[in-house]
Amino acid sequence: MSDSIATAPRRNSSAFTMTRIIWNWGPPTLTFVIVAVLWQLVAINNPYVLPTLDAVGASLASDPGMYWANLLVTCQEIVVGAGAGIICGFLLAVAMSELPIVEKAVMPLIVVIMVTPVVAIAPALVVAFGFGMLPKYIVTGLVVFFPMLVNSLAGLRDVDQKALDVFKTLHASRWEIFRDLRLPGCMPFVFAGLRIAMPLAVVGAAVAEFVAAGQQAGLGSLVTIAAAQANLPVTWASIALLCLLGVLLVSLLALLRKRILWWSDEDVVGR
Amino acid sequence: MTATAHPEEIGVEVTNVTKSFGGDEARVTVLNGVTLSIRKGEFVSLIGPSGCGKSTLLKVVAGLSEANGGTVSINGKSVREAARDKAIGLVPQSPALLPWRTILDNVSLPISINPRGNTGRRLRDPRELLQSFGLGHALDRYPAQLSGGMQQRAAIARAFVFDPEILLMDEPFSALDEMNRDQQRMGLLDFWQSNRKSVLFVTHSVPEAIMLSDRIVLMASHPGRIAEIIDVDLPRPRNEALYATDAFRDLEFYVRSALRKVMEAARV
């Protein structure tokens, strides 16, 4: 899309702009239309497999307050849980990059925790901490913690050696090197980590709610309860909202990246 | 040849510096008994085949690499003390500007780092300095918005801004194309001729070494050592016209043959 912004002023003809818009938006729209049509065909012929899209829409419209309340609970889990996970992951990365002994001491434990499936930990956490919000915060935080840690650590280490040499000849303190070189320099990696972490945060919150369904609100709980009652419109409306939440978080992040990381067009995802 | 320098004028004194890498079995001697002194305000180039240790020598003088033997003193201070007093200005091979800072903020950076080292220094106004480097229009630009030549000029300004006692430049123009390189080279020459500082300048280019230097230190490899020190007795201030003089050409021929001799000796 940024391409069209950059090239549009080159030629002023509205026909040209129109072509651009169709070229950019046409194909994805077409894909969605095809999927929707197929969906409707399946739903109309098999009402016990999928709800029709209009039934999902009607369910959302009939009780927006209920959906809104559940959405807010899931959001709260993501903000608190993922927020804490992100901050802890980043801070531990800083500690590890500054003090090698910390990495040596803590990394094996972190690997052990991370290879343990979160889906398996969640019920144990519910047993330990009850059906309140705490186990949900922990599960959501746990899922985002690892990608944040790994990416931040990679970023803090990926320092421009030549710039570091300049800092060293100036006899810069470790704090000065961190503040003026490592911290700003690691931001592209931090954002790469966030882009992995954001969708995972939604997964974490939903999984946590599955385990403790029925006790507390949340879109994940809603999915489990509605599915158990074979209430397909509510099930799919909740799924759609979860999906929307994920898209929203990722878009927000992209916007934030553009504001903060304008100096780096290099996308380090997948490095 | 170094004996001609008066002791009170000596800025950098490298004495019998030895440096080797690797373990006991595969030990490689990169610098073998290198002795060199640079007078205050003198421009000295290091030239030699790759692997002769010229960049390593620069790193040792900069305090970025520890020598295994010998001493380096900068205006009578150890390298460590000199770094603490901000006596060393480094211009690395790449500009190494911070992409999130404007050119002005990049050049101001050395002033804010290690502020205690500023005592006794005649700090320059970064704006004025950038003006005289022909970057007055680019103060608020970011490095990515500048050409490679302009970035390298900003990196040189960054090394001059805190009034260091010695400037260490590691092939600062090697990443530029030939025309750009010559332009930057003459820019540095102009600025340096009106702001004399001790400079240790690593280069691959014979004309560059002659145009800029008071002396050229020719190094040989395996092990890295000084083969010859060549005086450049060409009048200052210099400019492009010097390229066309017989004196320049004769000296260029002389340095090239000396360089060839060094490389042939290494092959045997």
A162-180 per-position pLDDT tens digit: 999 999 999 999 999 999 9
Enclosing domain of residue B116? 93-163
- Would you tell me which CATH number, out of the four given (3.30.470.30, 3.40.47.10, 1.20.1440.230, 1.10.3720.10), belongs to the domain A52-260? 1.10.3720.10
Mean pLDDT of all residues belonging to chain A: 86
Q: Are residues B11 and B139 in the same domain?
A: no
Closest Cα partner for B105 from B146, B144, B140?
B140
What is the CATH number for B261? 3.40.50.300
Q: Are residues B258 and B173 in the same domain?
A: yes
The pLDDT, as a whole number, for residue A214 is: 55
The Cα–Cα gap between B255 and A212 comes to 81
The Cα–Cα gap between A165 and B112 comes to 16
Contacts of B93 in chain A (CB under 8 A): 162
pLDDT classification of B97: cutoffs 50, 70, 90: very high
Q: Are residues B201 and B216 in the same domain?
A: yes
Q: Could you give the number of structural domains in chain B? A: 2
Q: What angle do CA B264, B266, B268 make, to 5 degrees?
A: 75
**Least confident segment among A5-19, A79-93, B11-25:** A5-19
How far is A185 from chain B, CA to nearest CA, in Å?
8
The Cα–Cα gap between A126 and A135 comes to 6
Q: Decide: helix, strand or coil at residue A157.
A: helix
A21-80 per-position pLDDT tens digit: 888 888 888 999 999 999 888 888 887 888 888 888 888 888 888 889 889 989 999 999
Average pLDDT of the segment spanning B53-72: 93
- % of chain A with per-residue pLDDT over 90: 43
A118-138 per-position pLDDT tens digit: 888 888 888 888 777 888 899
The pLDDT, as a whole number, for residue A213 is: 59
Closest Cα partner for B51 from B85, B72, B21, B91?
B21
Chain A residues near any Cβ of chain B (below 8 Å): 160, 162-163, 165-173, 176, 180-181, 184-185, 263-264
Contact at CB, A169 and B93, closer than 8 angstroms: no
Residues 99-118 of B with CB under 8 A from A: 99-100, 109-110, 113-114, 117
Complex ipTM over 0.85: yes
B122-155 per-position pLDDT tens digit: 899 999 999 988 899 999 999 999 999 899 999 9
How far is A258 from chain B, CA to nearest CA, in Å?
13
* Bridge partners, A244 (sequence order): none
Token digits of residue B36: 């060199």
Q: Would you say residue B6 has pLDDT above 70?
A: no
Closest residue to A163, CB basis, from B63, B96, B142: B96
A134-164 per-position pLDDT tens digit: 888 998 999 999 999 999 999 999 999 999 9
Give the residue from B163, B186, B201 where a domain finishes. Answer: B163
Which chain A residue is nearest to residue B88, measuring alpha carbons?
A: A169
Give the residue from B125, B147, B163 where a domain finishes. Answer: B163
Contacts of A170 in chain B (CB under 8 A): 83, 86, 88, 110, 113-114, 117, 162
The pLDDT, as a whole number, for residue B1 is: 40
Q: Mind giving me the DSSP string for A59-101?
A: HHHH-HHHHHHHHHHHHHHIIIIIHHHHHHHHHHHHHHHH-HH
Which chain B residue is nearest to residue A169, measuring alpha carbons?
A: B83
Residues 122-161 of B with CB under 8 A from A: 142, 144, 158
